Structure 1
Amino acid sequence: MSDTTRKTSPRRQVRVGALAAALTAALALLCCTGGAGAFLLTELGGDTGDPVNANSLTCGPDHKVNVTGDMPRFTEYGERQLRNAAIIIKVGQDMKLPPRAWVIAVATAMQESGLRNLANPTVAGSQRIPNEGIGWDHDSLGLFQQRAGWGSVEQRLDPAYAARKFYEKLVKVDNWEKLPLTVAAQRVQISAFPDAYAKHEELASRIVDALAGGAARTVQISGRKVCDAAAGGEIAASGWTAPIPGGVGSGFRTADRPKHNGVDIAAPKGTKIRAAASGRVLVARCDPDNRGRLSCDVDGWPNKGGCGWFVDMLHAGGYITRYCHMVEKPRVVPGQTVKAGEVIGEVGSSGNSSGPHLHFEVHLNEDRTSRGAVNPVPFMKERGAPLKGAA
């Protein structure tokens, strides 16, 4: 819905995945020097499938979406729905808005209408209203389920008009490009269930990429859309950014370190570590060393094991990122909501570390164990935030 009146349609309620209530103490992690062991933290569940698409998209920031041509195939949506998404993107392009706005708009329409032009026939009495489905929420109409104050019945059922009205309100939100998608969408829609938008961000990014030539991988730098350059606090349209500058040294599960479930990014001690995407902090603490001691304020090698000072964050889509070997206690606390690019700590050498660096992991399906870990290099590249020095 989109009005200052809150609505309570059950179709919009968020299905919150059950996270483990207790985050128990970790066993030692032998992660960043030679013999590696599994990081056995409390499991959050989920399967171990890897949805990362190995086929890299061509990133073309100036690609114009075609609203009349053939639509790509997505199992989640049909041709008519994707054509509506294409119209939403085209309006954003015509308004010269950056791709991040397109992702927010498409994700919002996914939640509000399933990308269908919905109408409630009771709104206009006996007048026949053309639509792609029957709406369920009072006088809300169209892709964004806009209420009467947004325009006439005919206007709200025009996808281009509805998209333009959404964008006009979005750009009036302070700092909208840096806000989590859920927050930005909620400032426009005023939904009774604001957290529902987040679950659509990943698929909305993929749809924008498919319809607009990899646009979700771009970042705005000096007024230009630049491909694959999200770092240093700059956020790609996908909502992701590289956690620190620097090149990848030790890689993911290499032949000599098959249990190395992340990558090591070299950086000077004190380098700011940024959240790779908006999310909620699950863990922020000292990981015990291999003797069970909490001694993260001393550099690790050769006397320590474990992750040192570290943070785990949960992101939309069930992704978890992990940041190890911080120099001191993290800047964030469990339960805290953090924006993409926000500083969460500084590079150090605590835990099982032979020198200052960030050990960075990505996990799927809310699974914080080694079973859920995937290679961060292709994962981050596909989101327009490649790790420097990575092939």
Structure 2
Amino acid sequence: MRSVLLTTVAAAVLTTGIVAAPTITQADDPTTCVPAESEQHGIATFGYFSSQFETASTIHTIALERHLPERASLIAITASMADTGLLNQQPDDDADGVGIFGWTPSEAIGDAEQLSDPGYSAGRFFDRMVEVGGWQDMPPAQVARVVQGEAKGTVYAENQASARVLMTMLQGSIDCLPVVSPGEYTHPTPGVSAGGGFRTPDGPGHDGIDFSGYRGTPILAAGDGTVVTVLCNAHTADGAPYSCDVDGSPQVLGCGWYLEILHTDQTVTRYCHFESEPPVAVGERVSAGQEIGTMGSSGNSSGPHLHFETHMAYPAWPGTAVDPRDYLAKRGVRF
């Protein structure tokens, strides 16, 4: 039943480019999808607000109309997710740019009114994308970064996994993610002290806190929820893939082996730098205190530690990050 519901919603997206609010309600079945609500962005569908789903579906529809391969949609959705959170920024918004890619209006790319049209912006993105030499063989996040004119940074690589999940939803081939009843929260590495802080003056882009310990230290799920991401995220400065099965270094970029858990209140906890691939799978329910892997040093790391992030919405991106100390304190956990 859940697969049929999702397929129906996805089909409506691809046909019309508009997502009607799904009639999903809390039921006795604990795996029923429960939408979140937002006055600004509408009802959430499978963790995404309808406005975000509309953006992704528009991008995918334009790609199909142009007979571009699936990876083209993935590249563009990754870019939009990283730069605007899949939201269509308007000229009068307090934002750095306009449209679903956050561009600055210009004669070369379009005026503010044109860029406010998601279909137009998606088309212009693909115009620029196909001019990137070798884009078909480059990592999607690297292509997104080049098209967006960013010389460096990991934000695109960090959003590629979430974009891939959303692509799967659009294609109607993933079940509605199960929801777990609320439970208690816990420290992700009991007995291990917190080190690097959240967005300190020395690390304004550090969106979490670090717990440094011994290799193999158990990492626990901070709360009940559903695993939504398990991925190796490691690459060199020029975008070349880097193995997560060996120790990384400060010169390697990315979270290494990492996973994300979607909790019942639609918040997300992210765990980075596992020693090896976490022994849990996407879609699997986990409980607070359950071991989800062990501490390692994969990715951008100078030694074994857990980089722990907390986000107030799914998909997780820098704009949704909050201080983990405050997040857990409000849930009864202090350290």
When normalised by structure 2's length, the TM-score is 0.49
Give the number of the structure whose alpha-carbon radius of gyration is greater: 1
When normalised by structure 1's length, the TM-score is 0.43
Whose relative contact order is higher, 1 or 2, with alpha carbons under 8 Å and at least 6 apart? 1
